[in-house]
Amino acid sequence: MTAAAIPATQDRSRLRRDLARAGRRRRLLAIGLIAPLFLFLLFSFIIPIGDMLRRAVVDSEIAETWPHAAAMLRQWDRRKDPDEAMFAVLGRDIEASAKAHTVATAARRLNYAIDGGRSLVMDTGRALRKLDAEPPSWREALVAANPAWGDKKTWIALAEASGPLTDFYLLTAVDLERDSANRIVHRPAQQSLYIEVLARTVLISVTVTVLCLLLGFPLAYYVASAPPDRAGLLMILVLLPLWTSLLVRTVAWIVLLQDQGIVNQMLMAVGLIDAPLRLIFNRTGVVIAMTHVLLPFMILPIIATMRSIPPTYVRAAISLGAHPAVAFWKVYLPQTLPGVAAGTLLVFIMALGYYVTPTLVGGPKDQMLAYFIAFYTTQSSNWGLAAALGVLLLVATAILYFAYSRLAGLNQVRLG
């Protein structure tokens, strides 16, 4: 060890310390710059969505309206028939809620669980509101108001709805329910709706994605292999629909595809059809309009990938004796797969959650999952079910988004 080496090591460790400190400072600055957007999104995006998802499993309506009865029913083992004490607890809660005008909340919740649940609760509330003293028998008072209270099934349904958590909405969202023995069973056919909606949503999304791929891939290849100055113009043509309002494009399709629209006029003029085809306000219209809206999202990632493929590989294959078609199929096509996969996933993700286009150009049998989420939120106020359907949609989206980020890399996201 020479004398000069000692300060050198000291210098080096000081340098390392300084570098580490500078790195720490940079990290802190980075986090400080990201924090405002992160906090903003937390408040205006992430927490609201989390809060909505919570409603899919939280069951608070009965527990808030009839707190004593809900607490009691959570303890009930369901083997014994309800006794007079249980009738009394429930009766007093119903009476109190009827007098406080909150009984409708419980009525709405019980109506999801059993047929006629709303009138059962409202009838009972009306009958009990008139009481000015404790009845001699709560059982008789309740059964007199509505005989359904004598049925143990009503009590089991009420116990199921007493919270604090429930799988009722999630099961309903896939057409399942619990029977009186607490087993998970299929819902009767006339109450089953959502599996069909889910299947329809997936079917429409798959159809649209496949159409986008079939139309988009050749177009992407054409743009990617065009000379640079023409490619720039072609890119603008791809981007124009993207910048055009979704509602403008929807109006355009309604005008074009209506019975006297230009498409029907042309088909009739060339003699392909004699009477106008129904092309809008049905499945055909939904698929055409959605394909038009989502096509640029298929084309752009594929073009980006194609532009990064060096032309030398295909040239090498051909110079080694491969037929151009073989070279295209075996050498070029595999290299486009990342872009194809990214475009396919992106289009499929966006199609799954589509709302505006199917609502405006579809018939009642073409409405997708998002329509029902909106319907149960604003029209029928079945928030638990809206949230449960939202969970299905969001889980599907999250899985596909994860696959997309793995495949495409999030820093590869490009906007034209």
Partner 1 sequence: MEASAKTLTERVSRLLLAVFATLVFIFLIAPILAILPLSFNDSTFLVYPMHGFTLHWYGDVFASEKWRLAVQNSFLIGIPAAAIATALGTLAAIGLSLADFRGKAIVTALLLSPLVVPIIIVAVGLYFFFAPLGLTQTYAGLIMAHAALGAPFVVVTVSSALASFDRNLARAAASLGAPPVTVFRRVMLPLVRPGVISGALFAFAVSFDEVVTILLLAAPQQRTIPREMFDGMRDSLNPSITAVAAMLVTLAILLLLVVEWLRVRNERLRKAKVD
Restricting to residues 149-208, name those near partner 1 by CB under 8 A: none
- Output the smallest distance, CB 397 to partner 1, in A: 6
Q: Both tokens of residue 399?
A: 């899985």
Report whether 345 contacts 400 (CB < 8 A).
yes
Residues 220-279 that bind partner 1 (CB under 8 A): 221-223, 232, 234-241, 243-256, 258, 260-262, 265
| 331 residue type, one letter | V
Under the criterion CB under 8 A, does residue 20 sit at the interface with partner 1?
no
Under the criterion CB under 8 A, does residue 350 sit at the interface with partner 1?
yes
Residues 289-308 that bind partner 1 (CB under 8 A): 292, 295-296
- Output the smallest distance, CB 305 to partner 1, in A: 16
Residues 308-327 that bind partner 1 (CB under 8 A): 323-325
Q: Which of 209, 187, 194, 190 is nearest to 351 (CA)?
A: 209
Interface residue with partner 1, options 10, 19, 23, 206 (CB under 8 A) = 23
Task: Identify which of residues 163 and 296 has a Cβ nearer to partner 1 in the complex.
Answer: 296
Task: Identify which of residues 73 and 295 has a Cβ nearer to partner 1 in the complex.
Answer: 295
Residues 46-85 that bind partner 1 (CB under 8 A): 46-52, 55
Task: Identify which of residues 111 and 405 has a Cβ nearer to partner 1 in the complex.
Answer: 405
Report whether 370 contacts 354 (CB < 8 A).
yes
- Output the smallest distance, CB 293 to partner 1, in A: 10
Q: Which residues pair with 185 in a beta bridge?
A: 177
Residues 96-125 that bind partner 1 (CB under 8 A): none
Residues 362-381 that bind partner 1 (CB under 8 A): 370, 373-374, 377-378
Q: 381's torsion region: left (phi>0), alpha (psi -120 to 50) or beta? A: left
The whole-angstrom distance between residue 59's C-alpha and the CA centroid of its chain comes to 21
Residues 6 or more apart whose Cβ sits within 8 Å of residue 194: 172, 173, 174, 175, 372, 389
Q: Quick one: which H or E segment has residue 400? A: helix 383-408
Report whether 299 contacts 325 (CB < 8 A).
no
Residues 6 or more apart whose Cβ sits within 8 Å of residue 122: 103, 104, 107
- Output the smallest distance, CB 15 to partner 1, in A: 17
For tokens 């988009």, what's the residue? 216
- Output the smallest distance, CB 272 to partner 1, in A: 16
- Output the smallest distance, CB 359 to partner 1, in A: 8
Under the criterion CB under 8 A, does residue 30 sit at the interface with partner 1?
yes
DSSP symbols for 3-18: TTHHHHHHHHHHHHHH
Q: Give how many residues touch partner 1 by CB under 8 A.
A: 97
